[in-house]
Structure 1
Amino acid sequence: MVFPGLDRRDSAATPGSVPGAAAAPTVLLLHAHPDDETLATGGLMARLVADGARVVLVTGTRGERGEVVPGPLKHLEGTPELAATRVFELAAAMRELGVIDHRFLGEVDARAEGLAPRSYLDSGMQWAPSGMAEAAADAPADALSLAPFDEVVADVLAVVAELRPQVIVSYDERGGYGHPDHVRMHDAAVAAVAAVAALGSVAALALVAAEAAAAVGAAVAAVPPFALPNETRIDLYTVIPDSAEAEDTDIVVPLGPYRDAKFRALAAHRTQLSVEGDEIVLSGGQRHAVSDAEVFRLYAGSEDSEPGHPAAESP
């Protein structure tokens, strides 16, 4: 398996499963907008599916404020139809990657018990003087980055309680390039893993998620993250940007035989990018070569839970 933690099958067992039966290892990916998952983790997702893992994608928003590439779909930019189109594009991309379980945060299957379903909206972004992205000045009131953090965490915990994943994958602490929705999903991932640590059991999360925001916030604040026994630990891996300095313990996942699947999934996101050879072209005309590998790093603090996670380059 790609990640060492996927060898740990116990936390994936679900209520009612056959005693002693080996459950498929589960990986939960937390992304912010449609297309983020393919750009950052498309090869990983296809590889995990081929390896027999259960792969579940939770997307925070529908990318309502995304810019649209020049061409026949440009008229969708800034309209309500863009969100519906991006939902369709995401479904097409998931088919190319073989992922059959995708959810939007706040919907019934990714919502804390007792809370009415909701949609988290794209916060939009603007470039800060630092060169990093920041929230748009006119971010809507229902934006993901402005939603109560404890509510976002409670929704993530509801999914974690159901799936009992061994591994969660999300962005690094900067959200890659600073987009506030990326940062919010990273922070929610960290808080969810910390809540598991606080409770000592993934099964107990169902109770916490149902009791709503204040209880979740207290649980997260009560203990250091990742102070978790091995049998209930969830490993958090973050996406490492191409520009980041490599570390010996990074998990390098070559696209290899999954390269074509990733490119087909990229092409499905027609409003957001164009595929030209080995490059993608974004709405502003920026060209980016698609790397031959995706790189992930065990989140700082997780190492203390299980020393000796080896560096790996998955064949």
Structure 2
Amino acid sequence: MVPAGPVRPDGTLLAVHAHPDDESLATGALLATWAATAPVTLVTCTRGERGEVIDTPSHPTGLARLEGDGPALAAHRERELAAALEALGVRDHLFLDRCGYEIDRSERVQSGDLIPTADGGGQERYEDSGMVWVRPGIAGPAPDSGPTAFVRVPLDDAAARLAGVVRARRPAVVATYEAGGGYGHPDHVRAHQVTVRALELAADPAAAVVGTPWAVPERWEVVEPVAAVRAARRALGDDAAVRRLVAAHGLALADPDGALPPVAVPQQELERSGRVTVDVAPVLDQVLAALAAHATQVQHAGRTNGADRHVLARYALSNGVLAPLLATASLRRVPVAGTTPVGSAR
């Protein structure tokens, strides 16, 4: 087990995210910190085909035409993702629907032989399921997700592909969202479910998954302490420069005392489970560069004036609500249940 406290990169980190930009928003500091000294693999489940495109007078991208054009937006977001990963120092990336795997009980493929296939093994692409904002900072399911939406992919189909990646890359730790998907996006919730099931399959010698079984002892879930989130929201509202930015560009500030998304958990709960922390300041420039790379999805990302040492930067998504980037990123350690430790992940 990894000790609680500051992150100590050792072995391979596997991060699982739903769309391009999630890796930078949710785990940018973790990826940049780990990639500086140890291997990182990122698996992205979809290409964000149904994402909203920010193209406003205060954040002009000239790309509004891409919204609603799934293939064109997917291609563009792949390029944004590549630029973001370059900024973070992540060199190993796979789209989940293009992770080739074979079922062969008689001759197991050795670790490292998993190869992302060009055609996805003949499978349809996993596509963005879409979402709607149901209240500030909280997303819900779109009413019109299509037949190729990620949420409609059978759980074990997607999980078997990810399990093949786990067996091939043999990570020490797997990081993804908590069960609520961070802020409720249905693809985030599904990515959590797929990750949980994939770790079970990867460790199970009887599972029809390519490669030698590999047990990951724990997964890390992206969370934030409730008190820290409320204090950070309050600090943004107290920052004169931030208030000028909000007024000049028609943005909004989240209510410090309002409802919080699932990513926010009580401090006591986080400490009981074992909290892993990441110091964001040393990699802040990399994280901001990665956020800037996702220009269709993220706007007004930049440093704050330093008046509050717990808030280093701010950014907004398509909803125009300015969010704080905390000085300390947090992850909750969750033991992987129901696995037989057939290999050591450390």
Q: What secondary structure, in the 3-state scheme, does the structure 2 residue paired with 1:106 have?
A: helix
Counterpart position of 2:209:
209
How do 1:92-171 and structure 2 match up within 5 A?
92-107=83-98, 110-113=99-102, 115-127=121-133, 132-171=138-177
1:158-194 deviation digits (Å, cap 9, x = unpaired): 1111111111100001111111111111111111222
Conservation of the 8 A alpha-carbon contact between 1:40 and 1:239: yes
How do 1:79-90 and structure 2 match up within 5 A?
79=69, 80-90=71-81
Q: 1:304–1:86: structure 2 CA closer, same or farther, 3 Å change rule?
A: closer
Q: 1:256–1:276: structure 2 CA closer, same or farther, 3 Å change rule?
A: closer
1:78 aligns with 2:68: yes
Aligned length: 260
In structure 2, distance between residues paired with 1:146 and 1:303: 25
Q: Select 1:64's aligned residue among 32, 46, 49.
A: 49
In structure 2, distance between residues paired with 1:42 and 1:233: 22
TM-score (structure 2 length as normaliser): 0.69
Conservation of the 8 A alpha-carbon contact between 1:111 and 1:156: no
1:202-241 deviation digits (Å, cap 9, x = unpaired): xx76xx2259xxxxxxxxxxxxxxxx9xx94432111104
Q: Answer with 1 or 2: which has the greater Rg.
A: 2
How do 1:212-291 and structure 2 match up within 5 A?
232-241=215-224, 242=229, 243-246=264-267, 247-248=270-271, 249-274=274-299, 275-277=301-303, 278-291=313-326
Q: Give ranges in structure 2 of 5+ residues lacking alignment.
A: 5-9, 104-120, 230-263, 304-312, 342-346
Q: 1:101–1:197: structure 2 CA closer, same or farther, 3 Å change rule?
A: closer
How do 1:21-60 and structure 2 match up within 5 A?
25-51=11-37, 53-60=38-45
Conservation of the 8 A alpha-carbon contact between 1:94 and 1:265: yes
Counterpart position of 1:10:
none
Conservation of the 8 A alpha-carbon contact between 1:31 and 1:170: yes
Q: What secondary structure, in the 3-state scheme, does the structure 2 residue paired with 1:299 have?
A: strand
Q: 1:281–1:129: structure 2 CA closer, same or farther, 3 Å change rule?
A: closer
In structure 1, distance between residues paired with 2:199 and 2:339: 14
Q: CA deviation at 1:276?
A: 3.9
Counterpart position of 1:175:
181
Q: CA deviation at 1:293?
A: 1.9
Q: What secondary structure, in the 3-state scheme, does the structure 1 residue paired with 2:97 have?
A: coil
Q: What secondary structure, in the 3-state scheme, does the structure 1 residue paired with 2:265 have?
A: coil
Q: 1:198–1:262: structure 2 CA closer, same or farther, 3 Å change rule?
A: same
Q: Over aligned residues, Cα RMSD in angstroms?
A: 2.9
Conservation of the 8 A alpha-carbon contact between 1:26 and 1:163: yes
In structure 2, distance between residues paired with 1:116 and 1:304: 30
Q: Which residue identity is paired with 1:91?
A: A
In structure 2, distance between residues paired with 1:131 and 1:268: 22
In structure 1, distance between residues paired with 2:169 and 2:100: 13
Percent sequence identity is 39
Q: 1:74–1:276: structure 2 CA closer, same or farther, 3 Å change rule?
A: farther
Conservation of the 8 A alpha-carbon contact between 1:132 and 1:178: yes
Conservation of the 8 A alpha-carbon contact between 1:168 and 1:234: no
TM-score (structure 1 length as normaliser): 0.75
Moved more, 232-241 or 143-152: 232-241
Conservation of the 8 A alpha-carbon contact between 1:59 and 1:103: yes
In structure 1, distance between residues paired with 2:175 and 2:210: 24
In structure 1, distance between residues paired with 2:82 and 2:39: 17
